[in-house]
Structure 1
Amino acid sequence: MNSRKVFSAIGDLFTTFGSAVAASRAVEASRKPHAQDLRRLGMNPTAFDKIGRF
């Protein structure tokens, strides 16, 4: 594995973690997360809209 692939994997990890943090903060603040953050986490933004409160 060359160094470019290693750094790319590390960058992807930070991007995914950042999206998870941003989405969780939005939900905690009763806001809708950005669609791009949800897509990075493997969630469908339109399906997320259908989730109701408990």
Structure 2
Amino acid sequence: MSKVSVFKRISNAISLFGSAIEVSAAVEGRRTPKASQLRELGIDPAAFAKIRHF
């Protein structure tokens, strides 16, 4: 495994965790998360918008 692929994997993991934190903070604050962050987590933004919040 080359150094480039190791750093790329670490960078992708950090980006994924960052998106998870941003989305969870938005939901907790009763805001709509950014569509790009939802997509990075594998969540369809249109389907997320249909979720009823109580």
Distance in 1 between the 2:13 and 2:31 partners? 24
Report the counterpart of residue 12 of structure 2 in structure 1: 12
Deviation at 1:53? 1.7
1:50 aligned partner: 50
Paired residue type of 2:17: F
TM-score, structure 1 as length reference? 0.97
Identity %, equivalent residues: 46
CA shift, 1:36, in A, is: 0.4
Code of the residue aligned with 2:35 in structure 1: it is: A
CA RMSD of aligned residues (A): 0.6
Equivalent position of 2:41 in the other structure: 41
- Structure 2 residue runs of 5 or longer lacking an equivalent are none
- The gaps in structure 1 that reach 5 residues or longer are none
Give the TM-score taking structure 2 as reference length. 0.97
Once superposed, which parts of structure 1, at least 4 consecutive aligned residues long, lie more than 3 Å away? none
